Amino acid sequence: MTLEGRDTSGQAPGNGTISRARDYFAVPAPIKRIFDQFPLVTYSPNDLPQRGASNRTGNRLFVFTDAAGAKSHKPSFNPQCLKWQAYLRFVGIDFDIVPSNNHASPTGALPFLLPALPVNSNAPIPSSKLQKWAIEQVHCEEEQQLNLRFEVYASLLDHRIRNAWLYTLYLDNENFSAVARRLYVDPSTRNSLVRATLAVQLQQAARDELLKTSQYIDVSALEAEADDAFEALSTLLGSNEHFFERSSPGLFDASVFAYTHLILDKGMGWKRNRLAELLQKHENLVQHRERLLKYF
């Protein structure tokens, strides 16, 4: 049969041909009866974790952490989560910490917040809307409006420092085994096969992310770019206590702290920590981290 829907004789197939074709592709009756009992369905987005949706008396921030860390309000071991955990603390918003993971998030990513008010609302607030929500709660200043340089310096964190972080945590094999596997893989399951699969997926995701901007992963280049970023941040901070000469820490301080704290935190269990060596060259960044750690 040709692409025009005709047989080799050039004639259009008759009704008998169509009938035979339908019979050939028809689902056998016994199998059809089974599938009729289990119709295909389209699943809705993930529901909120039940422990977060009931008996809620305050704001709840869902982050990467463990039960002990949540109970003591310790900083999250994930930079994105820690950024918002720190920011909410800096602006004076009370909240409880709930251990979570991306699969439990309605948005597919952490962190997200369940606000205490309105009482009957279970609508989560994703990280992209947390600053707007915080400003509405406490009427704090919106940092981007204070200084046009905010986005420029934020790109240092989002690209140069983040890229070096991804390599250090996920692609340095010693660090991956000692840190990433312990924090992200092992708590998710006891099944060794699933753990092995998750480990491969995590490392491949980090590799794919780094290869978006380069044909190959050059460790020396990543560390050099992080070094330049730390120097630029140190110059920006100068002798001030907070970035952009703020009287109190803001979103950018939280963004920097999210990396500097975890890089310098010995509790992370780093085996090789070139980023800490680069960061410690800038005493004002180290002191900045120590000042902000007092909020926890």
Domain CATH for 132: 3.40.30.10
Residue 243 lies in a domain: yes
Residue 7 lies in a domain: no
Q: Final residue of a domain: which of 136, 154, 186? A: 136
Structure tokens at 258: 């999210």
**Beta-ladder partners of 63:** 99
Q: Final residue of a domain: which of 109, 136, 163? A: 136
Quick one: 73 and 188 in the same domain? no
* Residues of the domain holding 168: 145-293
How far apart CA 154 and CA 83 sit, in angstroms, is: 12
**Beta-ladder partners of 113:** 61, 125
Residue 45 lies in a domain: no
Query: What contacts 24+ positions apart, CB below 8 Å, involve 164-167?
Result: 164/222, 164/223, 164/225, 164/226, 164/275, 165/79, 165/259, 165/263, 165/275, 166/206, 166/209, 166/210, 167/206, 167/210, 167/217, 167/219, 167/222
How far apart CA 71 and CA 96 sit, in angstroms, is: 8
Quick one: 243 and 103 in the same domain? no
How far apart CA 54 and CA 68 sit, in angstroms, is: 21
Quick one: 194 and 288 in the same domain? yes
Structure tokens at 205: 């995701």
* Coil vs helix vs strand at 60: strand
Q: Within 10 Å of residue 144's Cβ, how many Cβ atoms? A: 15
Residue 10 lies in a domain: no
The structure tokens 């180290």 sit at 286
Quick one: 268 and 207 in the same domain? yes
**Total of domains in the chain:** 2
Quick one: 77 and 174 in the same domain? no
How far apart CA 32 and CA 64 sit, in angstroms, is: 45
Question: For every one of its 296 residues, what pLDDT tens digit does the chain have, with 9 covering 90 and above?
Answer: 333 343 333 333 444 444 444 443 444 454 444 334 444 443 344 445 544 444 557 999 999 999 999 999 999 999 999 999 999 999 999 999 999 988 888 888 999 999 998 777 778 999 999 999 999 999 877 765 556 778 889 999 999 999 999 999 999 999 999 999 999 999 999 999 999 999 999 999 999 999 999 999 999 999 999 999 999 999 999 999 999 999 999 999 999 999 999 999 999 999 999 999 999 999 999 999 999 999 99
Quick one: 83 and 169 in the same domain? no
> From the DSSP assignment, how many helices (H) and strands (E) are in the chain?
15, 4
Q: CA dihedral in degrees (243, 247, 252, 253; nearest 10)? A: 80
Q: Confirm if 263 and 82 have CB atoms less than 8 A apart.
A: no
Q: Confirm if 292 and 86 have CB atoms less than 8 A apart.
A: yes
Q: CA dihedral in degrees (276, 100, 204, 77; nearest 10)? A: 0
Sheet containing 60-63, strands listed edge to edge, beginning at the edge strand earlier in sequence:
96-99, 60-63, 112-114, 125-126
Residue 27 lies in a domain: no
Q: Final residue of a domain: which of 136, 159, 174? A: 136
Radius of gyration over every alpha carbon of the chain, rounded to an integer in angstroms: 26
Quick one: 157 and 283 in the same domain? yes
Residue 271 lies in a domain: yes
Find the CATH number of the domain harbouring 247: 1.20.1050
Quick one: 114 and 185 in the same domain? no
Residue 30 lies in a domain: no
Quick one: 289 and 150 in the same domain? yes
* pLDDT (tens digit per residue) in 244-263: 999 999 999 999 999 999 99
Quick one: 265 and 149 in the same domain? yes
Residue 41 lies in a domain: no
Quick one: 149 and 289 in the same domain? yes
* pLDDT (tens digit per residue) in 51-106: 444 455 799 999 999 999 999 999 999 999 999 999 999 999 999 999 998 888 88
Quick one: 218 and 127 in the same domain? no
Question: Does the pTM of the predicted model rise above 0.95?
Answer: no
